[in-house]
Amino acid sequence: MRSLRTMLTAGALAAGLAGCSSSAFGLTPQPNGDIVVSNNVTGATLNTTYANPFLVSSGSFSLGIYENHFGGPYTVTVTQWTANFNLPCFVPHYVSTAEQTNVVQFTSDNGAPPTDPTEPNPCINGDEETAIISDSKGHSVNFYYELTTGVPQEAKFRKLQIH
């Protein structure tokens, strides 16, 4: 009987602690998958859909990525684009993964290089792209954005000169 009580108590305790992991100082809640994406400049939460993308009018933009009980880093991958090219216009670059809100900057790295400006430029007006943002626990969210103006091919050249 005592063995049954012990098993039932252990089972109840395990159910109550689901989603937590132990650490040297107690229990640490695990991320719940509620990944929040925000405009890093304004702080506004961005709830994008394919029909309602974030509108981009320049060669770069920055996002804040946050999830309760998680500090990242997140995996950010551009998976789809509508420009008739073999690469997306924007490439994600990690700015900060040390804070609770991770910062990722998207830049138009894949614009036609200045060495061959006749190369097709994927950074055209109306290009819609999708990035998947994932945490280490398998949670993910799609982020949709659309380029509302073409990025001049010289934009990449100017960026290279700055660095």
Tens digit of pLDDT for each residue in 63-105?
A: 999 999 887 899 999 999 998 888 899 999 999 998 889 999 9
Q: Tell me the CATH number for domain 31-162.
A: 2.60.40.10
Q: Which residues of 68-77 are buried (b: 16+ CB within 10 A; e: fewer)?
A: eebebebebe
Per-residue pLDDT tens for 104-145?
A: 999 999 886 666 667 778 898 999 999 999 998 999 999 999
List the domain boundaries for the chain. Answer: 31-162
Dihedral sign for Cα atoms in the order 77, 79, 81, 86:
positive
pTM for this structure? 0.74
CA distance 96 to 100: 9
pLDDT at 162 over 50: no
Check residue 25 and give its pLDDT. 58
Place of tokens 């949709």: 144
Task: Please calculate the CA angle 122-124-126 and round it to the nearest 5 degrees.
Answer: 120
For residue 6, give every residue at least 6 positions away whose Cβ sits within 8 Å of its Cβ, in sequence order, or none.
none
Segment 16-25 mean pLDDT: 50
Q: How many residues in the chain?
A: 163
